[in-house]
Amino acid sequence: MAGKKRKKTKSLAETRRGNRRIVKEEEKKVTEGLRPCSELPMELLELIASRLRLKENIRFSLVCKRWHFVAVSARVLNRSPWLMFPQKNSSLCKFFDPSHRAFYFLDIPDLYGSRICYAKDGWLLIYRPRNSRVFFFNPFTKAIIKLPRFELRHQSVAFSSAPTSPSCIVFLIECVNPLVVSVSTCHPGAVEWSTVNHQSKLPFVVGFSDWNNMIFCGKFFYVLNLMGLLGVFDPENQTWNVLDVRPPAVLDIYFFRKRWRGRFMVEFRGELLVMYTCFREKPIIFKLDQSKMEWEKVKSLDGLTMFASFLSSHLSSNLPRIMSNSVYFPKVRFYGKRCISYSLDDCRYYPSKECHDWVEQEPFESIWIEPPEDVSTFV
């Protein structure tokens, strides 16, 4: 009887060992089919690294040599602009970093009761209506550079470069009548504004809706009006001219549909581009062929990324691959997880079925601005 029990016990023990052996063999087959983390595809590693903040990037780089290379490469990429949201009736400002999908907050009392007019090179041009004060402001360093007082009514505004540059010029334009525009210029250190009326060869009407179509490119300020006409101001010679350029083809259907509300002009290395957007329509982008003096439709940004907003727009290069050849709009969805964007590669909006209706957009609600050099204080 005892022998039978021992035999039965032995049989159970052997069965358990056999089961363990089978499980280990199955696990071995599974693990043999898997690749170690160090051998993940480079595209996937680049995507992961592009989403990491600085501290996370440093930890990521310690895994192995391959991960270290990807992490360091991600650090030297250009930083995307941040979307700035000035708060109404408050000095608190909110910033959204689209590359890391993160919000940052700064208390900026100097912006309370003021209006943002333009942004470039990390600087804002600010107007304070109650005392007609105009000044440059860096929201990250809190530096202020004052300009002479000037009453801004419905002028379109832009500036050429950072106010710390000796070549910085502020440019304002206002329509006096269809054939006359009033141009005002100033620069840091000036004691007053210079205002001159200029005749236009063609009727050229500019107004509040043209805020987002002012750009400095090369040595000139360019203004694209509602009708698609392109005006040029030469600050060195103080001359104004309306170029003989046929408006972009999208305007042929403008008066029949009246829905192309978003118009954004950007420059990159001497090239001028303009994008037209419409609710539920795909963005249409044109580039100015300066040899033929005509707008040509383009289907790609050649890896560049456009950041569009009413007050100023930017074209950036060398951003994470997932952001390239795309347009980012100043609207954050899904509880702050991502901006609305449009991929020219995929011909679709992200998030899915999202688009931007410019009719609902407040012109002073948000603006893109270059982030600070040292972002470690925000992470």
- pLDDT number for residue 212: 54
Instruction: Give 352's DSSP letter.
Output: T
Give the closest residue to 145 by CA, choosing from 89, 194, 186.
186
Instruction: Judge contact between 139 and 369, C-beta under 8 A.
Output: yes
Arithmetic mean of pLDDT over the chain = 81
The residue among 170 and 29 whose pLDDT is bigger is: 170
Residue 281 has pLDDT above 80, yes or no: no
Measured between its terminal Cα atoms, the distance across the chain in Å is: 74
How far from 146 is each of 189, 192, 370, CA to CA, in Å? 8, 11, 21
User: For the CA atoms of the chain, what is the radius of gyration?
Assistant: 28
Residue-wise pLDDT for 95-136, tens only, equals 998 888 888 889 898 888 888 999 999 999 999 999 999 999
Greater confidence (275 vs 337) lies with: 275
With vertex at residue 135, the alpha carbon angle to CA 133 and CA 140, rounded to the nearest 5 degrees, is 135
Asked if residue 335 lies in contact with residue 289, where contact means CB atoms within 8 angstroms, the answer is: no
> Over the stretch 125-170, which tens digit does the pLDDT of each residue have?
999 999 999 999 999 999 999 999 999 876 789 999 999 999 999 9
Model pLDDT, residue 318: 81
Q: Which of 16-30, 228-242, 325-339 has the lowest mean pLDDT?
A: 16-30
Q: In 76-148, which ranges are E strands?
A: 82-86, 92-97, 102-107, 115-120, 123-128, 133-137, 144-147
| Residue for token pair 């420059």 | 267
Task: Tell me the CB-side half-sphere exposure of residue 17, using CA atoms within 13 A.
Answer: 6
331-334: long-range contacts at Cβ-Cβ below 8 A with a sequence spacing of 24 or more? 331/356, 331/361, 332/83, 332/96
- State the pLDDT confidence band at 64, using cuts at 50, 70 and 90: confident
Q: Which of 12-16, 168-172, 370-374 has the lowest mean pLDDT?
A: 12-16
> Percent of the chain having pLDDT more than 90?
37
Alpha carbon distance 77, 71 (integer Å): 10
Asked if residues 285 and 297 have their Cβ atoms less than 8 Å apart, the reply is: yes
| Cα 283 to the center of its chain, rounded Å | 15
pTM for the full predicted model: 0.78
> In Å, what is the CA distance from 332 to each residue of 77, 79, 142, 280, 372?
23, 18, 26, 17, 21
- Confidence label for 230 from pLDDT (cuts 50, 70 and 90): very high
Give 179-198 pLDDT, tens digit per residue. Answer: 999 999 999 999 999 999 99
